[in-house]
Amino acid sequence: MCEFCLKHGEGKKWYLQAENYSDDLLSDVRRRKYIESFFTDIESHKKGIDRLKKLEKAPSFIRAIVGRLISRKMKKVHYGQVVPIEDIEQIFGFVNSIVRVACICRHITLGSEKRYCYGVSIAPDGGRFGEIVRGLDRSFLHGPDTDGFERLSKDEAISALRSHEREGLCHSVWTFHAPFIAGVCNCDRSDCLAMRCTVTQGIPIMFRAEYVASVDPDQCNGCRQCMRVCQFGAISYSVANKKAVIDQRQCYGCGICRSVCTKDAIRLEARSDVPVAATLW
């Protein structure tokens, strides 16, 4: 279990606790202000990226100190966790509404609209999150078909996430002032700022999943398709055995590799049951 499970989930998966999506949490004014500014103040996201770029050039001990401070702050306001699709299905099963919105990261990194993000709330009729998103500055939503925020059914949302998996995108959940969870994102290492920060720059702002993957060598035919989609460089290929091999110390447990394995050779197991990965978050 990650530290959020202990702190916000009473020892169970914190992101499967319905109260962490509740309207009660969202009634907190500070939290609502944060959400509004998150979606409207694009400039502050850009400044954050510039500061990270400057940090890359700083001496390693400065990077380590500042990195710890950033992680600590983000755990309070906006922290994520990688989540496999079966747990996302559970989340979509108990929230009352799902809205698809344009991804702010892609707006900043690519300058284009990519609808890879999903706002979730268990409150009736879209709840206060629905009110907030409808009132937002739409400057980051451009293009001919961006009117409103798309309401999706659970089945439509799951189908969209399966399609994102085939594109090689990794699912994650996000807090807006922990423990409130308002977003499910679909990330990759080149365009998602959180993954860049966590994986490329070594400043964690998202946890690994509660799972780790492994390959059944008896099923694997060595096609290497799984290596193509792993965002974390966790899969290598044994030339001698002609099989894929997962380094469980590198694996984030997203399960995306399974979606391209035609031999059904990859399984997820609980991170806590895998000694080499149990304490890696």
Cα–Cα distance between 87 and 42 in angstroms, integer?
A: 30
Indicate whether 203 belongs to the interface with ligand SF4 (CB under 6 A). no
Task: Return the number of the residue (48 or 222) whose C-beta is nearest ligand SF4.
Answer: 222
* Contact with ligand SF4 (CB under 6 A) among 122, 175, 232, 277: 232
* Contact with ligand SF4 (CB under 6 A) among 252, 271, 274, 277: 252
Pairing of strands 97-101, 150-151: antiparallel
Cα–Cα distance between 51 and 48 in angstroms, integer?
A: 5
Which residues 261-280 are close enough to bind ligand SF4 by CB under 6 A?
261, 263, 265-266
Q: Is residue 266 a contact partner of residue 253, using CB atoms and an 8 Å limit?
A: no
- Span near ligand SF4 by CB under 6 A; candidates 64-72, 181-189, 191-199, 218-226: 218-226
Structure tokens at 112: 């284009």
- Span near ligand SF4 by CB under 6 A; candidates 102-110, 112-120, 148-156, 213-221: 213-221
Indicate whether 204 belongs to the interface with ligand SF4 (CB under 6 A). no
Task: Return the number of the residue (132 or 265) whose C-beta is nearest ligand SF4.
Answer: 265
Give the per-residue contact string, 127-166, with ligand SF4 (x = CB under 6 A; - = no). ----------------------------------------
Cα–Cα distance between 177 and 75 in angstroms, integer?
A: 8
Q: Is residue 16 a contact partner of residue 87, using CB atoms and an 8 Å limit?
A: yes
Structure tokens at 259: 């979606």
Cα–Cα distance between 207 and 215 in angstroms, integer?
A: 22
Cα–Cα distance between 174 and 82 in angstroms, integer?
A: 9
Q: Where are the alpha helices (DSSP H) in 41-83?
A: 42-56, 60-77
Indicate whether 83 belongs to the interface with ligand SF4 (CB under 6 A). no
Residues at the interface with ligand SF4 (CB under 6 A) = 213, 215, 220-226, 230, 232, 234-235, 244, 246, 251-257, 260-261, 263, 265-266
